[in-house]
């Protein structure tokens, strides 16, 4: 199949899922065309089967806001025609599903039929999409998509609750390439980060308000009062500066490392003992899954899709949002006793196997096939 993938090319989870999906589909023989404003961060290798087409938005002084949707829909039209793309898979409703629908209509006028599969990732529904400024356009784009997927049951429910949706929504969870998390490194370089007796606690995110960064710091503060520990803070975002200040005020600066955005997530997870994800809301929690695949148990909030990913008392623990005391106590329970820690590590790994890309990616393939079949019956 020749598939166009539209996504945000940044460090966010939706872009990571879209990129990993495209790469795996290409290995399975499909021709993949990424269409976005810059090369996706995890897309290192382009090949015969993997192409990248940049969307340019020319600057024009009359416009206060440059019209990205317009440039994207025109690019989609051109790429479908030039490369004979059979299907467009757009990740994140805003504005991708909307731009794809416009492209579809333009192509239809020329007698070209190309179906759209839209994947909802979370913030496009729960945080941004349901804002009254966007809501009608988001509902319209979802309803006009030929197939719609969401990354968890919880996000499907939220979408049905927040919008008037007339489409069936298929749940296709985030997935993980377990081979990439085999840790073939001969040396995790743990000793560069911490002493032998210190536990390593990690948080990875784009450090926005929704990630509850102050809670990450508070939980770690409580942990380090009970046992020797270090905190690895990975990612960039608006909450990072506040976190750096808080760490200084609490007097734990020498125990916290801020990495910024990293291409070496698997190396960092390799030496981690515990992952913290106390988010306000999380449609799935890809970062938690990546941690578990590296045998790192997870302390998370009990919100959104997280209970579908992290099993309470098995791969880690779930607590109410902002229940820092319970999260700290659970973290200390896991970290204090080496035997308990090893059990949770093994469980985390086992739990991640439920989201193996070899079982999840075929779910998308089936949706593509069904969508194409349905369209050929209709036309």
- Residue 12 binding ligand GMT, by CB under 6 A: yes
Q: Which is nearer to ligand GMT, 199 or 203 (CB)?
A: 203
Q: Which residue is associated with the tokens 């166009």?
A: 4
| String of contacts with ligand GMT for each residue 69-108, x by CB under 6 A | ----------------------------------------
How far lies 187's CA from each of 6, 184, 234, 271, 354, in Å? 37, 8, 20, 9, 27
Question: Which stretches does DSSP call E strand in the chain?
Answer: 2-6, 31-36, 50-54, 87-91, 116-120, 147-150, 169-171, 199-204, 229-234, 256-260, 274-277, 298-301, 316-319
The DSSP bridge pattern shows strands 87-91 and 50-54 to be unpaired
Site string for ligand GMT, 167-196 (x = CB under 6 A): -------x----------------------
Q: Which two tokens stand for residue 264?
A: 């070496």
Is 282 a residue that touches ligand GMT (CB under 6 A)?
A: yes
Confirm or reject binding of residue 151 to ligand GMT (CB under 6 A): yes
The torsion angles phi and psi of 343, rounded to 5 degrees, stand at -65, -45
The residues pairing with 316 across neighbouring beta strands, listed in sequence order, are 298, 312
* Edge-first strand listing for the sheet containing 50-54: 50-54, 31-36, 2-6, 87-91, 116-120, 147-150, 169-171
- Check residue 206 for interaction with ligand GMT (CB under 6 A): yes
Residue 191 carries which DSSP code?
G
Among 285, 301, 308, 347, binds ligand GMT (CB under 6 A): 285
**Least distance in angstroms from the C-beta of 307 to ligand GMT:** 13
* Interface with ligand GMT (CB under 6 A), residue from 122, 278, 297, 316: 122
Binding segment toward ligand GMT, per CB under 6 A, in 11-19, 128-136, 263-271, 354-362: 11-19
150 binds ligand GMT (CB under 6 A): no
CB 53, min distance to ligand GMT, A: 21
- Interaction of residue 281 with ligand GMT, rule CB under 6 A: yes
Q: Of 72, 79, 169, 210, which one interacts with ligand GMT (CB under 6 A)?
A: 210
Residue 205 interacting with ligand GMT (CB under 6 A): yes
Q: How far is CA 302 from the centre of its chain?
A: 18
Nearest distance from C-beta of residue 287 to ligand GMT, angstroms:
7
286-293 helix and 13-27 helix, angle to the nearest 10 degrees: 60
Chain contacts with ligand GMT (rule: CB under 6 A): 12-14, 17, 121-123, 151, 174, 205-206, 210, 281-286
């Amino acid at each position: 199949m020749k598939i166009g993938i539209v996504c945000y090319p940044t460090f966010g989870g939706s872009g990571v899922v879209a990129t990993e999906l495209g790469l795996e589909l290409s290995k399975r023989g499909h021709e993949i065309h990424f269409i976005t404003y810059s090369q996706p961060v995890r897309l290192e290798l382009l090949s015969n089967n993997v192409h990248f087409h940049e969307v340019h938005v020319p600057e024009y002084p009359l416009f206060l806001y440059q019209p990205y949707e317009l440039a994207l829909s025109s690019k989609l039209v051109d790429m479908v025609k030039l490369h004979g793309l059979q299907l467009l898979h757009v990740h994140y409703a805003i504005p991708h599903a909307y731009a794809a629908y416009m492209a579809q209509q333009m192509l239809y006028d020329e007698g070209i039929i190309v179906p759209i599969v839209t994947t909802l990732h979370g913030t496009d529904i729960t945080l941004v999409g349901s804002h009254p400024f966007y809501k009608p356009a988001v509902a319209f784009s979802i309803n006009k998509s030929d197939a719609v997927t969401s990354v968890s049951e919880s996000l499907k429910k939220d979408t049905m609750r927040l919008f008037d949706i007339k489409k069936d929504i298929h749940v296709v969870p985030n997935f993980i390439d377990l081979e990439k998390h085999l840790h073939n490194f001969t040396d995790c370089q743990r000793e560069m980060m911490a002493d032998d007796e210190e536990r390593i606690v990690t948080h990875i995110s784009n450090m926005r308000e929704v990630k509850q960064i102050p809670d990450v710091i508070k939980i770690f503060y409580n942990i380090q009062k009970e046992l020797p520990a270090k905190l690895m803070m990975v990612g960039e975002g608006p909450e990072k500066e506040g976190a750096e200040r808080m760490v200084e005020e609490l007097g734990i600066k020498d125990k916290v490392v801020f990495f910024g955005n990293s291409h070496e997530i698997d190396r960092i997870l390799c030496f981690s003992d515990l992952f913290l994800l106390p988010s306000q809301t999380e449609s799935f929690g890809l970062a938690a899954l990546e941690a578990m695949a590296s045998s790192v148990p997870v302390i998370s909030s009990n919100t959104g899709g997280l209970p579908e990913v992290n099993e309470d008392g098995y791969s880690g623990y779930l607590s109410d949002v902002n229940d820092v005391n319970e999260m700290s106590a659970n973290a200390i329970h896991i970290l204090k006793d080496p035997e308990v820690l090893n059990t949770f590590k093994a469980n985390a790994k086992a739990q991640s196997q439920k989201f193996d890309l070899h079982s999840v990616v075929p779910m998308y393939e089936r949706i593509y096939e069904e969508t194409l079949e349905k369209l050929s019956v209709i036309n």
